[in-house]
Amino acid sequence: MMKLNKVVFTSVLLLLNTPVFAADHDVKVITDNEQRNAYFEQDYANACTQLLQSDLQLPATKEIAAQHEINVNIDSGYRLKMNENGVGYLQLAITEWGEKLVLFSSNNVNIAIKGADITGANIVNLACEDKDKKITHVNTHEWGSYIMTLTAAPNSWVELAIIKEVSKG
């Protein structure tokens, strides 16, 4: 009977402490978001005010994306319509080694860039009035073309701003 009481008592203690651990994790995430938003304040402000080229059809193949390569040395923004498969592509022209980008995108889109490192994803946007955007940081390693894959609900609209990260050092 004593062993059963210890097990029950231990279980109760674990249950009581679980919200503390969960709350601690939430505080850390909020703090990380606040710190990133403060550190990259100028980059995020640029992304917030980036004008969007409107009502464009997102290229459905990598070959079509290559015909409309985006130069990342010029900040740009797009409002794009996904195709019936919910997958589209953009080709980025990277002209410098170790290029760093900040992407502001609709919450409904997922982004992948083959050959680049995503150094921060799903960062909460605390910088813009329109809070319906998430932030992604991307590092490239060498100059050349990088294919960005965007996935979202078929035939939905997505927004994307591509901003060159300003050096902090």
CATH code of 55's domain: 2.60.120
Residue 106 lies in a domain: yes
Give residue 26's pLDDT. Answer: 56
d(CA 68, CA 46): 23
Residue 157 lies in a domain: yes
Task: Report pTM.
Answer: 0.79
Residue 67 lies in a domain: yes
Give residue 3's pLDDT. Answer: 54
Residue 56 lies in a domain: yes
Residue 64 lies in a domain: yes
pLDDT at position 113 over 50: yes
Total of domains in the chain? 1
Packed helices 41-49 and 2-39: angle between N→C axes, nearest 10 degrees: 70
Give residue 91's pLDDT. Answer: 97
Q: Which residues contact 136 (CB under 8 A, 6 or more apart)?
A: 102, 103, 105, 111, 118, 120, 121, 122, 123
- Going by pLDDT thresholds of 50, 70 and 90, the confidence category of residue 105 is very high
pLDDT at position 42 over 50: yes
Helix (H) or strand (E) holding 1: none
- How many residues are recorded in the chain? 169
Residue 72 lies in a domain: yes
Hey, which residues does 42 pair with through a beta bridge?
none
Residue 31 lies in a domain: no
**Domain that residue 124 falls in:** 41-164
Residue 30 lies in a domain: no
